[in-house]
Amino acid sequence: MTHALTRYALAMAVTLALAGWALTLALTGADAASAIAISAMVAAVVQIGAFAITRSMLPTSLVAAWGAGALVRFVSLVVYGFVAVKLLGLPALPALLSLFVFYFLSMLLEPLFLRR
């Protein structure tokens, strides 16, 4: 499990870095770059946790494993929306859009590393 998790984390880090760079070109404005960077860090932590949950549940049920991972991501997106925008004062569009893009791209990578 740790080998797959390590490989997934490395691939995800490269993907998040490239996507983050592209998002900073597209989303400009006050604090947009910091919102994107914070979103990348949140996405990395949540995605690694969701991948570990999905990987551990995989032998039981593939659908339940993917559903649990998707639920973790959805709940974290909603909570991040409140925390980042309301409490931290980050701009809503760059913060939430970048987190969504990071989740989407990392989820596309996930099946490549779930194989046994």
The answer to whether residues 96 and 77 touch, using CB atoms and an 8 Å cutoff, is: yes
Q: What is the mean pLDDT of the chain?
A: 89
What is the pLDDT, as a whole number, of residue 110? 87
Residue 38 to residue 100: CA distance in whole angstroms: 13
Whole-model pTM: value is 0.89
Domain boundaries of the chain, sorted by first residue: 2-114
Residue 39 tokens read as: 């979103």
What is the pLDDT, as a whole number, of residue 88? 87
The backbone torsions φ and ψ at residue 112, rounded to the nearest 5 degrees and listed phi first, read -65, -25
For the chain, the straight-line distance linking the first and the last C-alpha, in angstroms and rounded, comes to 9
What is the pLDDT, as a whole number, of residue 1? 57
Span 76-95, pLDDT tens digits: 999 999 888 888 888 989 99
Residue 72 tokens read as: 């973790």
